């Protein structure tokens, strides 16, 4: 294991412990603010097709976000894990289109149509945390690193403020998202708002 890979593994363990220690009421409040901020983004309003994720464990709960976008008649996609640590995006019209998938994460049914990544306007990218340069530390499977390779649309990350890092260890395949939202700030490009 390389030094960067080892550093990431150590940081994942530390961050999972910190996130697990968050009180449920704090988590619900944080989730509500993150969802509200994401829905208020002009990019979200402009996007016809959005690839989201089902937040599990200590990740931001995206349930309300999914409900809001489904209620507004938006094209909502969710990832489906494939062999070889690959993934694809499938159109999901409601929670009835989901079943338990890899790692216990809800995934689209096989009957849900696949949507090519070139047809996706915005991807909400999950992460354990982000840094000030908008780089992410994921769960370690590499699914999103591979999926985002060659994607030309907009990418957004949600990060709890207390998990935001000054700098993360990065490897050649790590890609920054276009914008990171915390409960308090927006990190975009080289500026912070």
Please indicate if the annotation marks 11 as binding a ligand.
yes
Q: Is 141 annotated in some ligand binding site? A: yes
DSSP assigned state of 161: G
> 10 among the known binding-site residues?
yes
Is 118 known as a binding-site position? no
- 49 is known to lie in a ligand binding site: no
Q: Annotation-wise, does 63 bind a ligand?
A: no
Q: Of the candidates 175, 169, 126, 127, which has an alpha carbon nearest to the alpha carbon of residue 151? A: 175
132 is in an annotated binding site: no
Q: Are 59 and 126 in contact (CB under 8 A)?
A: yes
Q: Is 71 annotated as a binding residue?
A: no
Q: Is 130 annotated as a binding residue?
A: no
- Residue 59 among known ligand-binding residues: yes
151 has binding-site annotation: no
140 is in an annotated binding site: yes
Residue 9 assigned as binding residue:
yes
Give the distance between the most distant pair of CA atoms in the chain.
46
CA distances from 173 to 121, 134, 152, 161, 186 (A): 22, 14, 15, 25, 24
- Tell me whether residue 12 is annotated as binding: yes
Binding residue ranges: 8-12, 59, 136-144
Residues that constitute the known binding site for substrate? 59
């Amino acid at each position: 294991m390389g030094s960067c890979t080892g550093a990431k593994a150590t940081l994942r363990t530390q961050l999972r412990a910190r996130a697990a220690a968050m009180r449920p009421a704090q988590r619900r409040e944080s989730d509500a603010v993150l969802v509200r901020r994401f829905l208020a983004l002009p990019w979200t309003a402009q996007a016809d097709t959005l690839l989201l994720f089902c937040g599990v464990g200590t990740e931001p709960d995206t349930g309300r976000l999914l409900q809001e976008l489904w209620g507004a008649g938006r094209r909502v996609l969710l990832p489906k894990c494939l062999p070889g640590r690959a993934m694809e995006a499938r159109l999901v019209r409601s929670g009835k289109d989901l079943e338990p998938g890899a790692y216990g994460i809800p995934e689209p049914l096989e009957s849900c149509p696949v949507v090519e990544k070139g047809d996706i306007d915005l991807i909400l990218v999950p992460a354990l945390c982000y840094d000030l340069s908008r780089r992410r530390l994921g769960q370690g499977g590499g699914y999103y690193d591979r999926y985002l390779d060659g994607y030309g649309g907009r990418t957004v990350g949600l990060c709890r403020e207390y998990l935001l890092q000054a700098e993360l260890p990065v490897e050649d395949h790590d890609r920054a998202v276009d914008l990171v939202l915390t409960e308090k700030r927006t990190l975009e490009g080289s500026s912070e708002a």
